[in-house]
């Protein structure tokens, strides 16, 4: 938003395409840190509220939406800032979407019951090179690599190398970094702010509109934890216990660590280190992308 506003003052019209696999779900707003209604009114946003909570959504659907949004913004004379932390979306946008087929329902059901360690060993036995290319702590990535190899007899890596042209080709990719202590402090403040904004009520409403099982299946950090704790509490004046906040904080830090590992492998990224209240726009103007403004 800061870059979009500075660009507008310089006469460059901007839009924002969110690249976040959790922000596509309607109703999951506070816990995914979606832009506010006011921010969306100020700057055109894409990538938000694309599917009902509890439904399935994949990277192919995201790319279809992104293609339409990018075309519309281009026709409107706007440049686009793509922002977010979903590494698979970034890779699909900038490298193209791998067209490897899905495995059978039976195979997926079998793999879903296995531990991460067992999945790693299974992938290592049939396609050891893929362990170096994926987040080996993420069960969904492990399952995907295994199902492609076992279904097609061809490594996911080979499928990826045969991928069609990417949707986004002319771009500058920036990786915003902070020192570890500052990053952890910002994560803690963010979790506290989400609770203060009414995250618990958001989860209550999602449970009322959908179901507890739908929340349990939702991969967004904190939703399942809050919902399951609510089940054990009948009081209206519910306050989340300190241990619940601590568990969500730990899970968020672990996810941030996995993001750092993922994006460290992306060769197109240019690091931008920020500290405190330093302006991102100023950092970009001075060191990275003066032409942006």
What pLDDT band is residue 167 in, cutting at 50, 70 and 90?
very high
Looking at residue 103, its pLDDT comes to 82
Q: Which residues lie below 8 Å from residue 23, measured CB to CB, with a gap of 6+?
A: 32, 33, 34, 47, 48, 49, 84
For CATH 3.40.50.300, the residue range(s) in the chain are 2-96+165-292
For CATH 1.10.20.140, the residue range(s) in the chain are 105-161
CB 12 within 8 A of CB 191: no
290 burial via Cβ count (<10 Å: 0-12, 13-18, 19+): exposed
Structure token digits, residue 276: 């405190």
Looking at residue 284, its pLDDT comes to 78
Q: If we measure between CA atoms, which residue out of 212, 98, 110 comes closest to residue 148? A: 98
Q: How far apart are CA 31 and CA 243, in angstroms?
A: 18
* Distant-in-sequence contacts of 187-191, Cβ < 8 A, 24+ apart: 187/249, 187/252, 187/253, 187/256, 188/249, 190/33, 190/252, 191/222, 191/245, 191/248, 191/249, 191/252
- CB atoms under 10 Å from CB of 134, counted, come to 19
Q: Which of 63-72, 85-94, 157-166 has the highest mean pLDDT?
A: 63-72
Options 3.20.20.70, 2.60.120.380, 3.40.50.720, 1.10.20.140; which CATH number does 105-161 get?
1.10.20.140
Q: Which CATH architecture has domain 2-96+165-292?
A: 3-Layer(aba) Sandwich (3.40)
Average pLDDT, the chain: 91
**pLDDT (tens digit, 9 = 90+) per residue, 76-101?**
999 999 999 999 999 999 988 877 88
What pLDDT band is residue 234 in, cutting at 50, 70 and 90?
low
* Distant-in-sequence contacts of 249-253, Cβ < 8 A, 24+ apart: 249/187, 249/188, 249/191, 251/221, 251/222, 251/225, 252/187, 252/190, 252/191, 252/221, 252/222, 253/184, 253/187
């Amino acid at each position: 938003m800061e870059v979009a506003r500075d660009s507008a003052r310089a006469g460059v019209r901007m839009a924002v395409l969110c690249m976040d696999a959790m922000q596509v779900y309607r109703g999951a707003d506070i816990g995914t840190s979606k832009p506010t209604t006011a921010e969306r009114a100020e700057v055109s946003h894409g990538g938000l509220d694309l599917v009902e909570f509890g439904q399935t959504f994949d990277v192919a659907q995201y790319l279809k939406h992104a293609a339409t949004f990018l075309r519309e913004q281009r026709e409107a004379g706007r440049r686009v800032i793509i922002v977010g932390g979903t590494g698979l979306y970034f890779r699909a946008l900038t490298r193209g979407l791998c067209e490897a087929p899905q495995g059978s329902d039976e195979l997926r059901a079998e793999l879903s019951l296995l531990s991460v360690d067992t999945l790693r060993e299974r992938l290592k036995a049939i396609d050891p090179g893929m362990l170096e290319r994926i987040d080996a702590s993420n069960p969904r990535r492990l399952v995907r690599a295994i199902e492609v190899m076992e279904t097609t007899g061809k490594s996911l890596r080979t499928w990826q190398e045969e991928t069609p042209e990417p949707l986004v080709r002319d771009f500058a990719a920036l990786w915003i970094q902070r020192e570890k202590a500052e990053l952890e402090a910002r994560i803690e403040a963010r979790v506290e702010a989400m609770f203060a904004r009414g995250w618990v009520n958001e989860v209550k409403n999602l449970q009322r509109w959908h179901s507890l099982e739908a929340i349990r299946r939702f991969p967004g950090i904190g939703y399942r934890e809050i919902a399951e704790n609510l089940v054990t509490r009948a009081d209206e004046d519910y306050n989340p216990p300190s241990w619940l906040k601590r568990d969500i904080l730990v899970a968020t830090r672990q996810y941030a660590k996995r993001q750092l590992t993922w994006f460290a492998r992306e060769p197109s990224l240019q690091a931008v280190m920020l500290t405190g209240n330093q302006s991102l726009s100023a950092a970009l103007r001075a060191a990275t992308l003066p032409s942006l403004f």
